């Protein structure tokens, strides 16, 4: 079964990877492919490029699923995660008490924090994934993830954030708020901490901080339940974990580190997509071309090599030596990329499937271009 077909047989498809590797593009293209295959799919994107967001009909002010119609009648849903709106909805959902809810939403500290503290995106994406699955409207939920320096930022961050929320210090900090003057000694002890928090967000009223902590304490229990459920869900068989990596030496090294981290968290990638694969790497992986032998067999004289390359129909105005240099460089780079791909392949679980996409002429920012991207995904034998 092709990698794309295999991916579409899951009910959750998580696109993981380093910043800029192509996660958002891949997530959107695969939701589109699922729609073409007749499935009910939704893609949850995070901070898509402007033009892609336009093509998907989503914007930051509408973080609910929108239907995207493809030529021929198939549709899929897309939505974008908006941190601020997501938090507000979360507070609305879990705050039992109307007065507290209003106070939290008006809280300046909360307003700053909810627009981007570390792990905030991940926590919200997890919450949103849970909410989308609960609707039972979809055969496949494709989840894009925020750019991450570490693989675990997504698969484990929700739990870390919750731990942070529940850390004793914060619970302790919350006490004075409820206990009033009786806890003033503790309150004084907290001043340096609160001062630093205030500095970080540029808010001066201590009451705002106390309110914020009160809200977090309130949200911690339902959020933890959700995060625990999603933690398990991301490790089930029906969840595909697709590692998207740039097929450059550096990108492949990062991907190998990601793979190791994910494996340690019992969430090893089930599929790997090598994005923007250069022609030499592509030939080596798909056509078993021996690019090492090709490099060794090249004429040592640059003029002769350049003339040979020109005979292939390249622009005669380009200097022969320059052509020869570029060609040698491409092959040498391809050899190193091939070695890095082999190392990554060895680090991935034996059952993980590999695929590649080449650098496309246009950035895939429209529906037809996304469809082209999905079609360009080619299986790589391991």
Ligand X SMILES: Nc1ncnc2c1ncn2[C@@H]1O[C@H](COP(=O)(O)OP(=O)(O)OP(=O)(O)O)[C@@H](O)[C@H]1O
**What residues line the site for Mg ion (CB under 5 A)?**
23-24
With CB cut-offs between 5 and 8 Å by kind, which of ligand X, Mg ion, none does residue 271 bind? Answer: none
Q: Does 58 bind ligand X (CB under 6 A)?
A: no
With CB cut-offs between 5 and 8 Å by kind, which of Mg ion, ligand X, none does residue 25 bind? Answer: ligand X
Distance in angstroms (rounded) separating the CA atoms of residues 158 and 41: 24
Exactly one of 3, 13, 21, 162 binds ligand X (CB under 6 A); that residue is 21
Cβ proximity to ligand X, 19 vs 349, nearer residue:
19
Q: ∠351-154-100 over CA atoms, to 5°? A: 145
Q: Does 363 bind ligand X (CB under 6 A)?
A: yes
Exactly one of 7, 8, 223, 365 binds ligand X (CB under 6 A); that residue is 365
Cβ proximity to ligand X, 242 vs 320, nearer residue:
242
Q: Does 228 bind ligand X (CB under 6 A)?
A: no
Report which of 294, 182, 243 is spatially closest to residue 18, judged by C-alpha positions.
Answer: 243
Q: Of the ranges 17-25, 53-61, 302-310, 312-320, which one interacts with ligand X (CB under 6 A)? A: 17-25
Q: Of the ranges 15-23, 155-163, 170-178, 203-211, which one interacts with ligand X (CB under 6 A)? A: 15-23
Report which of 134, 349, 139, 154 is spatially closest to residue 234, judged by C-alpha positions.
Answer: 154
Q: Does 49 bind ligand X (CB under 6 A)?
A: yes
How big is the chain, counted in residues? 382
Q: Of the ranges 193-201, 220-228, 301-309, 357-365, which one interacts with ligand X (CB under 6 A)? A: 357-365
Instruction: Tell me how far, at minimum, the Cβ of 110 lies from ligand X, in Å.
Output: 26
Exactly one of 213, 305, 357, 367 binds ligand X (CB under 6 A); that residue is 357
Distance in angstroms (rounded) separating the CA atoms of residues 30 and 382: 22
Instruction: Tell me how far, at minimum, the Cβ of 25 lies from ligand X, in Å.
Output: 3
Q: Does 19 bind ligand X (CB under 6 A)?
A: yes
Cβ proximity to Mg ion, 81 vs 262, nearer residue:
81
Six-digit token pair at 217?
A: 């304490």
Q: Does 147 bind ligand X (CB under 6 A)?
A: yes
Distance in angstroms (rounded) separating the CA atoms of residues 116 and 104: 16
Q: Which helix (H) or strand (E) holds 80?
A: strand 75-80
Instruction: Tell me how far, at minimum, the Cβ of 49 lies from Mg ion, in Å.
Output: 8
Q: Of the ranges 97-105, 181-189, 300-308, 353-361, which one interacts with ligand X (CB under 6 A)? A: 353-361
Residue 70 DSSP class: P
Instruction: Tell me how far, at minimum, the Cβ of 193 lies from ligand X, in Å.
Output: 33
Cβ proximity to ligand X, 80 vs 230, nearer residue:
80
Instruction: Tell me how far, at minimum, the Cβ of 144 lies from ligand X, in Å.
Output: 6
Helix (H) and strand (E) counts for the chain?
18, 9
Instruction: Tell me how far, at minimum, the Cβ of 141 lies from ligand X, in Å.
Output: 17
Phi, psi dihedrals of residue 245, rounded to the nearest 5°: -135, 150
With CB cut-offs between 5 and 8 Å by kind, which of Mg ion, ligand X, none does residue 198 bind? Answer: none
Distance in angstroms (rounded) separating the CA atoms of residues 149 and 51: 25
Six-digit token pair at 40?
A: 């009910």
Q: Does 54 bind ligand X (CB under 6 A)?
A: no
Residue 314 DSSP class: -
Q: Does 349 bind ligand X (CB under 6 A)?
A: no
Q: Produce one character per residue of 158-192: b if its CB has 16 or more CB atoms within 10 Å, e if not.
A: bbbbbeebbeeebeebbbbbeeeeebeeebeebee
Q: Does 372 bind ligand X (CB under 6 A)?
A: no
Asked if 302 and 325 touch (Cβ cutoff 8 Å), the reply is: yes
Q: Does 345 bind ligand X (CB under 6 A)?
A: no
Q: Does 25 bind ligand X (CB under 6 A)?
A: yes
* Residue numbers 101-130 binding ligand X by CB under 6 A: none
Q: Which helix (H) or strand (E) holds 71?
A: none
Q: Which residues is 41 bridged to in the sheet?
A: 140
Residue 360 DSSP class: P
Distance in angstroms (rounded) separating the CA atoms of residues 81 and 366: 20
Helix (H, G, I), strand (E, B) or coil at 2: coil
Contact residues: ligand X, CB under 6 A: 17, 19-25, 47, 49, 147, 275-276, 357, 359-360, 363-365
């Amino acid at each position: 079964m092709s990698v794309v077909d295999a991916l579409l047989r899951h009910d959750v498809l998580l696109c993981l990877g380093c910043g800029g590797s192509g996660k958002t593009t891949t997530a959107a293209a695969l939701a589109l492919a699922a729609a073409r295959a007749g499935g009910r799919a939704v893609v949850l994107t995070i901070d898509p490029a402007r033009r892609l967001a336009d093509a998907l009909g989503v914007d930051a002010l509408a973080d609910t699923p929108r239907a995207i119609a493809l030529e021929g009648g198939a549709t899929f849903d897309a939505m974008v995660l908006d941190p601020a709106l997501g938090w507000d909805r979360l507070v609305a959902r879990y705050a039992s008490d109307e007065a507290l809810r209003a106070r939290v939403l008006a809280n300046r500290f909360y307003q700053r924090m909810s627009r981007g503290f570390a792990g905030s995106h991940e926590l919200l994406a997890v919450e949103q994934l849970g909410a989308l699955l609960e609707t039972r409207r979809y055969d496949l939920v494709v989840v894009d993830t925020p750019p991450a320096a570490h693989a675990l930022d997504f698969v484990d961050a929700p739990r870390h954030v919750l731990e942070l929320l529940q850390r004793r210090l914060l619970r302790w900090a919350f006490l004075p708020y409820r206990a009033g003057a009786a806890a003033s000694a503790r309150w004084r002890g907290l001043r340096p901490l609160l001062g630093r928090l205030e500095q970080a967000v540029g808010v001066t009223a201590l009451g705002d901080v106390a309110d914020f902590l009160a809200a977090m304490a309130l949200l911690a229990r339902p959020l933890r339940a959700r995060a625990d459920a999603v933690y398990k869900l991301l490790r089930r068989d029906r969840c595909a974990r697709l590692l998207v990596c740039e097929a450059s030496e550096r990108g492949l090294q990062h991907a190998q580190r990601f793979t190791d981290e994910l494996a340690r968290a019992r969430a090893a990638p089930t599929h790997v997509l090598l994005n923007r694969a250069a022609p030499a790497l592509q030939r080596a992986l798909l056509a078993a071309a021996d690019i090492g032998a090709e490099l060794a067999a090249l004429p040592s004289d640059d003029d002769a090599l350049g003339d040979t390359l020109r005979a292939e129909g390249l622009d005669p105005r380009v200097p022969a030596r320059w052509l020869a240099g570029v060609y040698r460089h491409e092959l040498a780079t391809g050899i190193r990329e091939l070695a890095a791909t082999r190392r990554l392949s060895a680090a991935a679980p034996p059952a993980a499937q590999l695929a590649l996409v080449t650098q496309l002429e246009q950035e895939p920012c429209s529906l037809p271009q996304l469809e082209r991207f999905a079609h360009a995904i080619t299986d790589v034998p391991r």
